[in-house]
Structures are given as C-alpha cells and as structure tokens.
Amino acid sequence: MDQLPPDVEEDDCLPDYRHLFCPDLLQGKVAFITGGGSGIGFRIAEIFMRHGCRTVIVSRSLPRVLMAAKKLTAATGQRCLPLSMDVRAPAAIMAAVDQALKEFGKIDILINCAAGNFLCPASALSFNAFKTVVEIDTIGTFNVSRVLYEKFFQDHGGVIVNITATLSLRGQVLQVHAGCAKAAVDAMTRHLAVEWGPQNIRVNSLAPGPISGTEGLRRLGGPQARLSKMVLESPLQRMGNKTEIAHSVLYLASPLASYVTGIVLVVDGGCWLTFPNDIKQLMNLESTSAKL
C-alpha cells in the first residue's frame, strides 16, 4: 500500500517533507504559477521550491500572494516573487511577466491554476455568471499562455500544465459553467501541444478529484455526510490531498515527463468513475436561490 504524502489543511507549508523525487529535480528552473497564493496552487509552489525551483506566484489579491511568498521562502529557502494580476486582463499579465523576467531572467514552467467556481443550477445561472467562469478559467488560461509564449517560450521552449477537472467527463449537475470552461481548457491543451510542440513547448492538463483543505472542496463538496459516502464508495475510498496533486504536477513539469505532451492526467483516485450524479440534489438546490 502506498504511504500517503503529508499535507496540512490550511495555506501553510508542510512541517516535514521527505523527498520521493530527486531533491534537485527542478534545480535552476523558474515557474510562473497563477492562483499560487492558495490551495492547490500554493502547495504546487511549495513542492516545486522544495525541488530547487524559484517561483512567481500571481493572483488578484496582493496581500494573499505576499503572505504566501513569505511562508514559502521561509520553509524552502528559495526565492518567490508575489505579484498581483487578474488573468482576465492581458495588459496586467504582460506587466507581470515582464517583472518576472526582469527578476529571474527566464521562465521555464507555467502552471495555470487560477479558477473560479460555485454550485448553481443551469436554469438559475445568470448570463454573466457563466461568462465570468469561462473568462477566468478558459480565457485566463489562454491569456497567460499566449503572453508567456510571446515573451519567452517561443524562443526558449517551456512547459505548461493546466489544472482542469473531471466535471465534463460525465456532465456533473450544477456545474455547466465550470465543466464547459475546463473542457475547453483540455481542448486548448491538445491544440497548443500540437501547435507549439515544434518549439519544444510541452502542454498538458492535470485534472484533480476532490482535494481536502481547498476552497474548491469547501464550495463544491456539498453536505459533509453525502460527500463522505461518495468518497468511501470510490475506488481508493478517500479524498486526495494537495501534496498528491503537487507531486503529479511536478512529474508533468519535470524532465521525467520529457516525452509527454497533449494529455489530461486525471489524479482523482478513480472518483469520476463512481461518483453518483445526484439529480435529487439539483431539485433541492433549484428550489432555494440562484446564489448557492
């Protein structure tokens, strides 16, 4: 039986860490991580830094990324540049990438992890709500990838990992906005892998399942009892943790995956195969309000 890697619920670094991969796997590399100030993105930054990587973490909230960078540097001894930026704003992305290049001289890895989501029945979803999620998840991923390509990757190669989801594989209730947005990102992964492969740019998606200690789970997990039952009936009978996701992203971003491009790596303990698509839940929620 595999030993579960350690994790902590909050956006804090791990008190102890035992390397499974070679500790200098990303030595000398620089990673640009959107959504790197919290949840899964924070742990990705930490695990990368524990493998020798310097990081740029970006999100809308400057206090959030400032605080995160402080913790990450203290725990790992690596440099971390925190920047405020909205993935929907191309001019702000260009400025942030310029600043990152000025600071580190290069960017090797892009992790598109920023996203927005909430539970809402399609019939109650406002036009702007659907658009907002697509703008953050899909268009945001394109915007940042496009800027990184133009400013660095086209001449030097690079690696992109897009954090997506399994929502659209079976058509999850209350998730038409996020399911469509993430499915489009998986399509983008394949398109860009084909188009940018000749310039030595690898592009992959990683689709997590339910991950403990995250905003995603808090927003989308639903009633605790129902979630526990679904998880217990899934193949590995447990939720994943942020460290497990970060280890899989590390694999995709590292030279261990040098011949891997255009794939969607599902890291969900098999949950998408067995989670029930509970229509009754939709009926209950529809009778409440639009904002759930």
Contacting residues toward ligand NAP, per CB under 6 A: 34-35, 37-41, 59-61, 64, 86-88, 113-117, 136, 140, 163, 165, 208, 210-211, 214-217
**Sheet bearing 158-163, strands edge to edge:** 80-84, 54-59, 30-34, 109-112, 158-163, 201-208, 264-267
Q: Is residue 169 near ligand HXC by the rule CB under 6 A?
A: no
Specify the residue, 51 or 64, whose C-beta has the smaller distance to ligand NAP: 64
d(CA 142, CA 33): 14
Q: Is residue 109 near ligand HXC by the rule CB under 6 A?
A: no
Query: What residue 86 binds from ligand HXC, ligand NAP, none (CB within 5 to 8 A, per partner kind)?
Result: ligand NAP
Rounded to 5°, angle at Cα 30 from 47 and 63: 70
* Min CB(258)–ligand HXC separation in Å: 29
Among residues 74, 192, 97, the alpha carbon closest in space to that of 147 is found at 97
Query: What residue 34 binds from ligand NAP, ligand HXC, none (CB within 5 to 8 A, per partner kind)?
Result: ligand NAP
Specify the residue, 158 or 179, whose C-beta has the smaller distance to ligand HXC: 179
d(CA 292, CA 283): 13
Instruction: Render the burial of 177-209: b for 16+ CB within 10 Å, e for the rest.
Output: bbbbbbbbbbebbbebbeebeeeebbbbbbbbb
Q: Is residue 167 near ligand HXC by the rule CB under 6 A?
A: yes
Q: Is residue 132 near ligand HXC by the rule CB under 6 A?
A: yes
User: Looking at 7, 12, 215, 278, which residue binds ligand HXC (CB under 6 A)?
Assistant: 215
Return the range that interacts with ligand HXC (CB under 6 A); candidates 48-56, 66-74, 122-130, 240-248. 122-130
Return the range that interacts with ligand HXC (CB under 6 A); candidates 42-50, 65-73, 117-125, 139-147. 117-125
d(CA 109, CA 111): 7
d(CA 211, CA 276): 17
Q: Is residue 219 near ligand HXC by the rule CB under 6 A?
A: yes
Specify the residue, 191 or 219, whose C-beta has the smaller distance to ligand HXC: 219
Distance of CA 197 to the CA centre of its chain: 22
Q: Is the dihedral of CA 189, 193, 194, 199 positive or negative?
A: positive
Binding site for ligand HXC (CB under 6 A): 115-118, 120, 126, 128-129, 132-133, 165, 167, 178, 215-216, 219-220, 290-292
